[in-house]
Chain A
Amino acid sequence: MADKGGSMRASGDVEFLLPVDSEHKAKVVKVFSFAQPHMRSFHLSWISFFVCFLSTFAAPPLIPIIRDNLNMTKSDIGQAAVASVSGSILSRLMMGTVCDLVGPRYGSAFLIMVNAPAVFSMGVVDDAEGFMICRFFIGFSLATFVSCEYWVSSMFTSKIVGTVNGLAAGWGNLGGGVTQIMMPLIFALFRDSFHHPDFTAWRLAFFVPGSMHIILGLLVLCLGQDLPDGDHAQLQKQGGDVKQGFLRVLYFASTSYKTWIFFILYGYSFGVELTVDNIIAEYFYDRFNLNLNTAGLIAAASGLMNIYSRPAGGYLSDVAGRYLGMRGRLWFLWTVQSLGGLLCIILGKMSNLTGAIISMILFSIFVQAACGATFGIVPFVSRRSLGVIIGLTAAGGNVGSVLTQSLFFTSSSYHTEEGLVYMGIMIVCCTLLVTLIWFPQWGSMFFPPSKSASEEDYYVSEWTAQEQEQGLHLPSLKFATNSRSERGNHAGASSSDPEGDQPPAELGLSMWKSYSH
């Protein structure tokens, strides 16, 4: 890998506060540090994602007040909830390209600050349609997931990128939990301390997430940096980045059946988490007769599990991969997600408060761990089209949420508790798709790998012969060699340093084999 950083500064070697690799990506993550550029960017990216989750799910804990103010029916509430997660399907798909073009710093700042007016507009809605449109536009901001992952992947080396991604995504998802506590408290502040009527207090409460959007946007612009060596625009002008054939990348991503399996699967871990964020506060308020603050507190417990459950899911997937290879990762994902589905069924059946709280917390832990475990496998589906596959999987999460909310929580023909049972059954059924994932070089849950397959063949076959002649496939080759750890039986032994690896010339012969994957 050429040293891109040295040419930028006249003085020569740059001092970073963290140990870095040859691309100047950090090798360790120090969570309590704000060192420029790595840790500061880590904190800015996860906090921006956190604030977007906060504002997207700011309405649900206040629904009991809003539904009276805007004279909404159950289907109005359900449609608005569906709208809140459907906006980001498109925005998540586009965000990867936006980050490629202008860098993650401008990408996330642009999204957050352009989204702020939508959050403020909640203060002026008059009816159910206006409310739904508002939630739709606020939901666009969930695309910061992509810019967050992109930014973090640019700043941290591949060995720890999984853990750092899990931390950033998990802590960002916390926003969905914190908002359930925060919004009722802010509402109570405006109503009790400032003596506003209910129907005004909830509108004023939305100024808080809106202002957080503006503050975070400015912080990202002022303090953020796209890459360890500088900003995207600066490096672009010096020819620092490699451009890839976008259509070819899209082709390889969409023709692989595994991409579409993950598109569906993520809908039943992350999608279900979004659905629960939307409906659970109202469920506890109505079914168990709690007041707004208590219902919000309980609902928050679900989102707050993200602080460790998603990173734990990613970490345990790594452990399963180390001992049992890719097969271990697949079994872990299936087990954890199916248990999540079972707990969802139990949650719907619980008619006493304690049982409902316990099953909700356990359900959240398993479903969020499944999210983390999903992204323990996704990076291996393709090396070349990684960005597009992450975007598609993320979009699939939202599609799953749209589907489950429309099917089970919008119509008045069944109660919310029945909807939860049906959703649990759907989770268990759709998770069976994990059994269909088969890697030629590692096998699947039930079938062994193909004897003639190798990691190098799999990843290099994504590049055409022409591109291989130009040597563009070399990063994939390096990745392939390192991914041999997915064969399992590597307890304790860490994979060799990717920087020191020089692929032997004989591997070039396998270039010409083509695989359908």
Chain B
Amino acid sequence: MASSRMLYLILVATVATLGVASCVEGQVLFSTLPKSLVVTAALPDGKPIGEVKTGEDSILVKWTVNSTASVDAVKLKTKLCFASESQVLRGWRATNDDLKKDKTCLYDIATQDFSRTGGETTYKLSKSIPGAKYFVRAYAINAEGKQVATGQTSPNKVANTFTVIPISGRSTSIDIAVGVLSIFSVSALFGFFIFESIYLKRKKAV
């Protein structure tokens, strides 16, 4: 039948297009990126970071370009990345050399214009950042949106990492609401049971 053939062709075409589309973009491998950027992270008053709280504290991120390197970039992105010990047993934070699949750096700090003299940014930690150990990494991005250079505060994802203390997400009003609704549910049930057996007894007595 003509219509079913048409449908079949459309299905094949869709699958083929999607298959092709998935391998269009080129791969950027982290190991091939030159380590031309120097990044430091500290508290806004200059002291080294030990622990910071999300929603309250800020960190000051400074970056410069290594004097011997030549970097052809337009933008500079700084990101918050997981230290090795926070990636253990958590496959959704795994490191992958292909930057399209890499999940080490899931939280953006800032995107700034690139400049050879360097720059800095103060970042107030967002409340959605989970509790873990982190370091800061910077990527230099060229006009096509690809990473061309990188640098990070921790040499091996173990040393020079800092702890972020998260919010719990709980609040007193939630606790109270949970208590009230739970008590209501159980008492409504037993109240109904008691009420109905009294009603039935009264009906039988009549």
Contacts and interface: CB of A to CB of B under 8 A. Distances in A.
Do A and B form a real pair? yes
Given A74-B89, A211-B181, A221-B192, A204 B174 contact: yes
Contacts of A198: 127-128, 169
A127 to B, nearest CB: 10
B45 interface: no
Contacts of B127: 197-199
A124 B180 CA distance: 13
B130 A120 contact: no
A197 B189 contact: no
A352 B19 contact: yes
Nearest to A198: B128
Tell me what chain B mostly uses at the interface: helix, strand, loop, or mixed: helix
Contact of A197 (B55, B186, B197): B55
Contacts of B169: 69, 197-200, 202-203
Contact of B185 (A64, A117, A412): A117
Contacts of B19: 352, 354
Interface string A208-236: 00110110011001000000000001100
Interface in B114-169: 127-128, 130-132, 166-169
A55 B160 CA distance: 43
Chain A's interface size range is 35 or more
Contacts of A204: 174
30 contacts: A64-B92, A75-B89, A106-B193, A113-B186, A113-B188, A114-B185, A116-B185, A120-B178, A120-B181, A121-B178, A121-B182, A123-B170, A123-B175, A124-B174, A124-B175, A124-B178, A126-B170, A197-B55, A198-B128, A199-B166, A200-B167, A203-B174, A207-B177, A213-B185, A214-B188, A233-B200, A285-B92, A353-B22, A354-B19, A412-B89
Interface residues of B, number: 38
Given A117-B182, A197-B128, A123 B92 contact: no
A146 interface: no
Contacts of B4: none
B161 to A, nearest CB: 16
B15 interface: yes
Contact of B89 (A73, A123, A200, A203): A73
Nearest to A217: B189
B186 A117 contact: yes
Contacts of A192: none
B190 to A, nearest CB: 9
Nearest to B126: A197
A435 interface: no
A367 interface: no
A353 B15 CA distance: 10
Contacts of A218: 188, 192
Contacts of B132: 71
Given A120-B178, A120-B182, A123-B178, A109 B189 contact: yes
A355 B167 CA distance: 39
Contacts of A116: 181-182, 185-186
Of A203, A213, A353, most B-chain CB atoms within 10 Å: A203
Given A354-B15, A412-B89, A217 B185 contact: yes
B31 interface: no
A203 B92 contact: no
Given A286-B92, A412-B89, A415-B91, A210 B181 contact: yes
Contacts of A512: none
Interface string A468-499: 00000000000000000000000000000000
Nearest to A206: B178
A340 B177 CA distance: 44
A218 B185 CA distance: 9
Contacts of A233: 197, 200
A241 interface: no
B135 to A, nearest CB: 18
A110 interface: yes
A254 to B, nearest CB: 33
B106 to A, nearest CB: 10
B186 A114 contact: yes
A355 B19 CA distance: 10
Interface string A119-145: 011011010000000000000000000
A68 B184 contact: no
A124 B90 CA distance: 24
Of B89, B167, B169, most A-chain CB atoms within 10 Å: B169
A204 B166 CA distance: 18
Contacts of B171: 200
A124 B92 contact: no
A214 B185 contact: yes
A458 to B, nearest CB: 42
Contacts of A202: 169
Contacts of B131: 71
B170 A124 contact: yes
Contacts of B170: 123-124, 126, 200, 203
Which A-B residue pairs are the 8 nearest by beta carbons?
A: A199-B169, A117-B182, A68-B130, A197-B127, A73-B89, A116-B185, A113-B189, A198-B128
Contacts of B175: 123-124
B6 interface: no
B1 interface: no
Nearest to A199: B169
A263 B14 CA distance: 42
